[in-house]
Structure formats: C-alpha cells, structure tokens
Structure 1
Amino acid sequence: MTYPENDRFLTPQALRAAIREGTYSGYTAGHAPGYVQGNICILPHDYAEEFLLFCQRNPQPCPLIARSDVGDPYLPTLGTDIDIRTDVPRYHVFEHGVLTAEVQDLRALWRADLVTFVLGCSFSFEEALTDAGLPLPFLERGEVAGVYETTLQTEPAGRFRASLVVTMRPFAPVDAIRAIQITSRFPKVHGAPVHLGDPAAIGVDLNRRYRNIGSSFVGSGQIPLFWACGLTPQLAAMHARPPLCITHAPSSMLVTDLRNASLAVI
C-alpha cells in the first residue's frame, strides 16, 4: 500500500487500510484532513434503545451521526468499505462497566446482537478553527486537547447517566470569540463551548485530566474554553454496566468518508 507523506495519511481509505493491516494504531488527529472522525460505542441490542435516548437527550456530548443495524458491522452511510470490527486503531472493551482489555481487532469479539453508534468528534471543528487561523499549538506537538470530567450532569436515560466530560482549548480573548462563532456552526460535532473561563465553576482542576489525556497548558492572557466531549457516553456506559461495551480508545477514532464541511450549519 501507499504510506503517507510526512507520516500523515491523506485519505480515510488509506488510513483505514493501514489500521486493518495492523500497521497503524495511533491517534487519528491530523490524518485524513477534511474528513469526519467519529467516537464509537458498541452495545448489546437490549441496551441500544436506552443509549439512543441518552444521545437524544444529550446532543452536545453525544451528537449521533450513524447507527448500525443489529449485528451488522458495516456502516455504509459513512463509507462503503467501513467495517467497525477492523477500522478503528484501538478499541477499549468494558465488561459490566470495567475496562478489561484494549484490542486492535474486534472479529473475535463480534456478536450477532451488537449495535454500533457513531458520534461526532471535535477533530472536525478543530480543522475549522485552524483553517480560520486560530492557533492550536498542542496539535503541532502531536498532542490532543486536554480532557476533564466535570461536576455538570447529563440528562439520564434508563440505565445511562454520567457527569459531562469536556475538552479544553485555550485562546486569547479575541480568538475565543471567533472560536465560539466557528464551532457553533458544527452542532453535529459538539457545537459551541459549554463553558469558558474559571475551570472551578464546572468542577475542573486543570492539573487533573481525565485518564491523563491531552494538554493542560493555558498561556498568559489566555482563556480556557470547554467543549462537550464524546468520552461522556463511555462514562454513561460504565454506569449502565452492560455485560459488554466496546468503545474507541481515546483519540483513536473511526475516520469516515464524510466531509467535515457537510456537517456545517450555514
């Protein structure tokens, strides 16, 4: 196969092929520019309707862009060749709410009762921010935005409930205004921030990141902005404690054939 220039895959098809072959298992941020990346949550059918309701009640952290048929590993609305069993760099496997494994392939775990949900990801609006000239230095360092669990609560649905998880990006005040305007055009990938300014107001300590993910740096004169994060449904699934739940590993997403621009609201 053809490998990317400067260690970056330029198309989703090339990236997914490398993932299937087992030659790539890292972060997907910065790869396949212009294309939508998705958070995934795979659940048994008897938990799926409650999870769907949880997504509908909490659209900012859980912006649903696709749902599979029961037992079907394919997602044709997102890409004709996508197979959810092989096309994510790393998966996290939860049993009764406990993380029990990290794997690179789901074929041995796949069951006829599983349903896949794909949720929008902030990587899409990050591209819109950088295209507008707003700085995201953590991307240049090969990092991702800092992730935090807040004291804000989601709207529960059946067995699913969770504290809101957020991502943080710092901006100078004039850039913060533009960042809010830009991301508000992308409601299917978390939309506008849920909070800006004092982290303590939402129960966040910038030095205590969720699973130690991402950058916590806030420069002099910058304001931290916080966006709803697609790791929130993972917390909800851990609370629901299904016998099996499979998600993406943090920042290792499903890269689709959808264009980011297709999700923008004019």
Structure 2
Amino acid sequence: MSIENTTPTEYLTPAQVREKIRFGQWKTNTSGVSSGYVQGNIVILPKKWADDFLKFCQMNPKPCPIVGMSDKPGDFMISSVGEDVDIRTDVPSYKVFRDGVFVDEVHDISNIWQDDLVTFVLGCSFSFEEPLLADGLEVRNITEGVNVPMYRTNIECRPAGPFSGTTVVSMRPMLPKDAIRAIQICTRFPSVHGAPLHFGNPEAIGIQDISSPDFGNAVTIKEGEVPVFWACGVTPQVALEQAKPPFCITHSPGCMLVTDMRNSQLAIL
C-alpha cells in the first residue's frame, strides 16, 4: 500500500503533496497538510503588469507578503520556493480572470500558460496556524475540517499603479485571552500576515454578517468567543478586480502551493 494512501496528510512531505496535486489526486483546500512547511497564495500576471503588482505588495506587506517569485518571465518552475515546483500543475485549484472578470476555475493551467507570465508566491495564514496549534490554541477551521472563512472589509490598501482595493481578512474565533496570545505568537511571522488586524466587532471593519463569509466556509463561534481577523492573501484578487489586467491567474481560496520552505525560516525570534 502506498504512502499516499496511508500517511496522514499533515505528515506528507511537500513533494508528496505536490505530486498528488499534479496528478489530480488532490483538488481541495490544503489547510493542515505538510505540517511545518510554508504554503503560498499565488498571483500570476503578464510582465507588463508585474512591476506595479510588485510595488502593490511592497506597499501592503500584511495582506501581500512576498515569499517567492519566478526568476524571469515565462518561468513555470519556481526554484525560489522548492525543488521541482511547477506552478502550472502544483496548485489544487486555480481561478482565471480576463479583464478583471473571473471566467474559469481549473486544476491545471498548462494549456493557457504564456511566455510573458510572472508568478508571485505570497505568504499564507496556514503557516501561522501551526504555531497557534503548538501553543495549545484551537484553530476552528481545522477542527471542523473546512476552509477558513474570509471576508471583504472596508480597510483600504495603499494603491500602486492600477492596483487598489480593500483588504480581505481570514477569521478564527477565540476566547479574548487566546486572541491576545495569538497576537503575541503571530507578531513573530510578518512574512505570513503577522499579527491580527482586528478582533471583536466585525462591523468596525465593514463586515455586516459574520455568518456569511465572502470566501471559504462559515465556522462555529461559541459563547464567550470573539472573531479574530488576520490580513488574507485573497486581498490581491480584490485588487485585480479593480485593475482589470487582460489576463491573470490566482489560486482558488484555500487551495495553496505547498512549498519546501519551513515555517521556522520565516519566524523572527
């Protein structure tokens, strides 16, 4: 019996996870897989748009922290984040946009790849979930086996060229004392969104219905808990909606690139 069928997903190596994805054996969210390794949000743009997007990320490092890029336009092997990482096949699900409009969701982008495309790998909140769990804090979306809930907010990003928009946040409910501990822990990980942006009243950041996330799945909020909100790597999708590049590709929410980088490499001690 193969390791792919017997090994719990948190113990699969990144290479094993990417192999399962590449051959169509994994098409869902990647929360909790390959414990200890960095997962990345993906944005792929034509070179003409890439420089302004790079500036947008540099000006908005909490929602858009860059952890890797393609070496040059057209490269689909992303050596900066791992060995044998093919960005065309190694993400479980991709969203395709034309002129800022979502047009398709696919599991392989080999047949639409272009020679001028530049790939950005952005830090993901899944990387800080591990130290939260290690400290004894519950991460509700993992407990309930669903994709983390994500919401559009009224928190404006700093614009760069054609890129602008508001911040998307991910939410994990916690007791207030645990929320404070989560802030302390996540401050050590600025490359994967860092400390939460807000906790408490969702309406203060423009969220009207906490039970209806814009992306991902709703989770249970128990009595005495408060919602805790982190900047989220889906934020670039809002910026792309505003900028309307003729062509771009992102990951589907929750469906990340599992890299060979260790979370500990991104920690500030």
> Shorter-chain TM-score: which interval?
over 0.9
Q: Deviations over 1:63-84 (max 9, x none)?
A: 0011111110111121111010
Q: Which one of the candidate residues 29, 32, 45 is aligned to 1:30?
A: 32
- For 1:14, what is the secondary structure of its paired residue? helix
Q: Which amino acid aligns with 2:24?
A: G
Q: Which one of the candidate residues 173, 186, 196 is aligned to 1:183?
A: 186
Q: Which residue of 1 aligns with 2:4?
A: 3
Distance (whole Å) between structure 1 residues aligned to residue 186 and residue 7 of structure 2: 28
Q: Which residue of 1 aligns with 2:226?
A: 223
Asked if 2 retains the 8 angstrom alpha-carbon contact of 1:209 and 1:216, the reply is: no
Q: Which amino acid aligns with 2:192?
A: V
Q: Which one of the candidate residues 4, 20, 30 is aligned to 1:18?
A: 20
Q: Deviations over 1:85-117 (max 9, x none)?
A: 110011100000111111111110111100000
Q: Which residue of 2 aligns with 1:146?
A: 149
Asked if 2 retains the 8 angstrom alpha-carbon contact of 1:92 and 1:101, the reply is: yes
Residue 138 of structure 1 and its aligned partner are, at CA, apart by: 2.3
Q: Which residue of 1 aligns with 2:60?
A: 58
Residue 214 of structure 1 and its aligned partner are, at CA, apart by: 2.3
Residue 178 of structure 1 and its aligned partner are, at CA, apart by: 0.6
Match status 1:80 vs 2:74: no
Distance (whole Å) between structure 2 residues aligned to residue 237 and residue 23 of structure 1: 29
Q: Which amino acid aligns with 1:235?
A: V
Q: Which residue of 2 aligns with 1:156?
A: 159
Q: Which one of the candidate residues 27, 31, 41 is aligned to 2:43?
A: 41
Distance (whole Å) between structure 1 residues aligned to residue 150 and residue 42 of structure 2: 17
Residue 13 of structure 1 and its aligned partner are, at CA, apart by: 0.5
Q: Which amino acid aligns with 2:84?
A: D
- For 1:256, what is the secondary structure of its paired residue? strand
Q: Which one of the candidate residues 130, 134, 153 is aligned to 1:131?
A: 134
Distance (whole Å) between structure 1 residues aligned to residue 259 and residue 158 of structure 2: 28
Q: Which one of the candidate residues 62, 66, 69 is aligned to 1:67?
A: 69
- Computed over aligned residues only, the root mean square deviation of the Cα atoms, in angstroms, reads 1.2
Distance (whole Å) between structure 2 residues aligned to residue 257 and residue 5 of structure 1: 21
Asked if 2 retains the 8 angstrom alpha-carbon contact of 1:125 and 1:183, the reply is: yes
If the length of structure 2 is used for normalisation, what is the TM-score? Answer: 0.95
- For 1:210, what is the secondary structure of its paired residue? coil
Q: Which residue of 1 aligns with 2:205?
A: 202
- For 1:145, what is the secondary structure of its paired residue? coil
Distance (whole Å) between structure 1 residues aligned to residue 197 and residue 36 of structure 2: 25
Asked if 1 retains the 8 angstrom alpha-carbon contact of 2:140 and 2:219, the reply is: no
- For 2:150, what is the secondary structure of its paired residue? strand
Distance (whole Å) between structure 2 residues aligned to residue 175 and residue 240 of structure 1: 38
Distance (whole Å) between structure 1 residues aligned to residue 219 and residue 20 of structure 2: 31
Q: Which amino acid aligns with 1:89?
A: P
Asked if 1 retains the 8 angstrom alpha-carbon contact of 2:198 and 2:229, the reply is: yes
Residue 46 of structure 1 and its aligned partner are, at CA, apart by: 0.4
- For 1:33, what is the secondary structure of its paired residue? coil
Residue 7 of structure 1 and its aligned partner are, at CA, apart by: 5.1
Q: Deviations over 1:198-249 (max 9, x none)?
A: 11111112033113x1234321111211100000001101211111110001
Match status 1:100 vs 2:100: no
Structure 1 runs, 4 residues or longer, greater than 4 Å off: none
* Corresponding pairs, count: 265
What residue ranges of structure 1 are gaps of 5+ in the alignment?
none
